[in-house]
């Protein structure tokens, strides 16, 4: 299941962390009006991802970008 989180402030980042640690989604797409912020949160979550089940984490500018973009995408094996 793909989950999109709009907004990567404190609440969005906490929701994303909970999804990653519980393995509740196969893919998490972070969307923020500032792409650098979404990318930074995605990078932080990837550092903790080895402790969780397999999950894809990436940043996007919009949900439509999150559907098709494959840059910013790193897959854990």
Domain tally, the chain: 1
Give the per-residue pLDDT at 75: 44
Nearest CA-CA partner of 69 in 57, 54, 59 = 59
Count of other CB atoms within 10 angstroms of residue 50:
7
pLDDT of residue 68: 42
| Residue owning tokens 């559907």 | 67
**Predicted confidence (pLDDT) at residue 67 exceeds the cutoff of 60:** no
Contact 64, 35 (CB under 8 A): no
CATH of the domain at 27: 3.40.50.720
Q: Which residues contact 5 (CB under 8 A, 6 or more apart)?
A: 12, 15, 16, 19, 28, 29, 30, 31
The pLDDT tens digits for 15-65 are 999 988 888 888 899 999 988 999 999 999 888 777 666 777 888 876 665
* Beta-bridge partners for 56: 27, 75
Q: What is the pLDDT of residue 12?
A: 95
Range of the domain at 21: 2-75
pLDDT at 76 over 50: no
């Amino acid at each position: 299941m793909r989950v999109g989180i709009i907004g990567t402030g404190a609440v969005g980042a906490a929701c994303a962390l909970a999804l990653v640690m519980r393995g509740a989604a196969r893919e998490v797409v972070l969307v923020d009006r500032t792409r650098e912020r979404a990318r930074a949160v995605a990078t932080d979550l990837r550092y903790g991802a080895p402790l969780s089940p397999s999950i894809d984490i990436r940043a996007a500018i919009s949900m439509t970008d999150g559907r098709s973009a494959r840059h910013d995408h790193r897959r854990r094996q």
